[in-house]
């Protein structure tokens, strides 16, 4: 079963930052936080991952709290093409090779 909790849906205005929260209170020391998204019915797309430090790439930023029990994915300037289901996944430890997708957050970006 997924070990993360995400809001079911969120809205964001185009051009604004989208902040997607995720709770993972049972995360263990050797598990990473991964984010993927699925646009319509396409294959999931990797966004970013981190262990304990904040991470940034060309797509997004990942902020992980100091106790690692929650994190936030930030899309700095959301566009209509960012409308998708966003999945926060705890990965690693004994579950290598198996991504457990929960229900994710449906992000809708409005004009």
Partner 1 sequence: NAGVMQNPRHLVRRRGQEARLRCSPMKGHSHVYWYRQLPEEGLKFMVYLQKENIIDESGMPKERFSAEFPKEGPSILRIQQVVRGDSAAYFCASSPETANTEAFFGQGTRLTVV
Using rule CB under 8 A, residue 56 touches partner 1? no
Using rule CB under 8 A, residue 55 touches partner 1? no
Using rule CB under 8 A, residue 49 touches partner 1? yes
Quote the least distance from Cβ 97 to partner 1, whole Å: 4
Q: Which of 21, 55, 101, 108 binds partner 1 (CB under 8 A)?
A: 101
CA distance linking residue 42 with residue 58, whole number of Å: 21
Burial of 78 (0-12, 13-18, 19+ CB in 10 A): buried
Using rule CB under 8 A, residue 99 touches partner 1? yes
Shorter beta-carbon distance to partner 1: residue 18 or 89:
89
Please say whether the beta carbons of 89 and 27 come within 8 A.
no
């Amino acid at each position: 079963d997924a070990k993360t909790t995400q809001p079911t849906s969120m809205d964001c205005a185009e051009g604004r930052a989208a902040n997607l929260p995720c709770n993972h209170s049972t995360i263990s020391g050797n598990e990473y936080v991964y984010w993927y998204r699925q646009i319509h019915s396409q294959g999931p797309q990797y966004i970013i991952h981190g262990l304990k430090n904040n991470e940034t790439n060309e797509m997004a930023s990942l902020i992980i709290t100091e106790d690692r029990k929650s994190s936030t994915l930030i899309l700095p300037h959301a566009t209509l093409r960012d409308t998708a289901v966003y999945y926060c996944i705890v990965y690693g430890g004994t579950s290598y090779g198996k991504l457990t997708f929960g229900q994710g957050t449906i992000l809708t970006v409005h004009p």
